[in-house]
A and B are shown apart, each in its own frame.
Chain A
Amino acid sequence: MRYVKWTLFALVALFVVGFLHYTLPQRDVVRVVSTYLERQDLNDWTRIFWANPDDQSGTLTNRDIQFIQTVDTRGRPRVYRNEDTGWSWPPYFKFDTANLQTQAEDFRSTAQAPQWVAITHYGWRNELLSIFPNAVSIRPVEGPDVRLIPWLNIVILTIMGGMALLLWRMWAQFRERTIDPALADVGEAWDRVDQRADAARGRFSRWLDSWRSKKRP
């Protein structure tokens, strides 16, 4: 039973961490090599890794998608898709795909005279599934070893932690003020009804106790 519990817990934790890792913004320091436009087939399950830029895109089986080809500071290729997220998930509210493509084109540079840029993106690159992270913004940086502190992620995760704490406090308050008094009433009524069935009452009270919040010192 313990293994089942821990396996379930690990699966939930993996899902939550994976979801956040996919959705939260990350920044890469890269050099833009080129951009291209390619028609993509979108009618299998990997559709979930592409955006919904507008309402009709949900029913299309394929459409043209813009890409930004880059090379990172260690010379590895990094390719980003560039699509609007519109009003749908994830909540980047990105509508400026054409502008971003223009900027990326403007930052094109060669290995001899590199112009390093920081690309903010979300999503994963997977060659087997043919999925790409979605570029959200691009800005020039001083050099290949510039240090970027993810302030936004720090703020977002802090707020999420605060909300989890708030929900937990709410539940504790609800249990202390609403469930416990109700259970106390039930327990008293039961005691009045059958004072002689000691063994049964002991068991019932103990079962009720398992619902009560722990007494705080």
Chain B
Amino acid sequence: MIALARLVVVGFVVMTIFYWLIRIYARSLRRERLEKRWEREGASGDRNAYVEAGMREYDASLRPKLILGVYIVPTAVIAVILYFINFHE
């Protein structure tokens, strides 16, 4: 059981690191895109307010929640490996 506990703990830590890396990266990409769009649309109004409004809209959308797949996909892969190695002849 120690090996299983180690897998769960290490797996959770690694997945959390990847979750935050991808989250920060995705937000940075979105912010850059908003800044460029603000310039393209004639650079009118407050740049900061435009970007922050866009980021609030992004946070409320489905896209940032998809990053939780970082936890779901490896867990599902382990379940599939377990099934095919041990219970599928």
Contact = CB atoms under 8 A, between A and B. Distances in A.
A59 to B, nearest CB: 11
B4 A87 contact: yes
B28 A55 contact: no
Given A93-B86, A94-B86, A99-B86, 5 more contacts: A55-B2, A94-B85, A137-B85, A173-B25, A177-B32
A170 B81 contact: no
B28 A93 contact: no
Nearest to B29: A173
A167 B22 CA distance: 9
A96 interface: yes
Interface of A: 52, 54-55, 86-88, 91-96, 99, 103, 136-137, 166-167, 169-170, 173-174, 177
Contact of A88 (B1, B3, B29, B87): B3
Contacts of B31: 177
A137 B84 CA distance: 9
A107 to B, nearest CB: 12
18 contacts: A52-B3, A55-B2, A55-B3, A87-B4, A87-B7, A91-B81, A93-B82, A93-B85, A94-B86, A96-B85, A96-B87, A99-B86, A103-B89, A169-B25, A173-B25, A174-B25, A174-B28, A177-B28
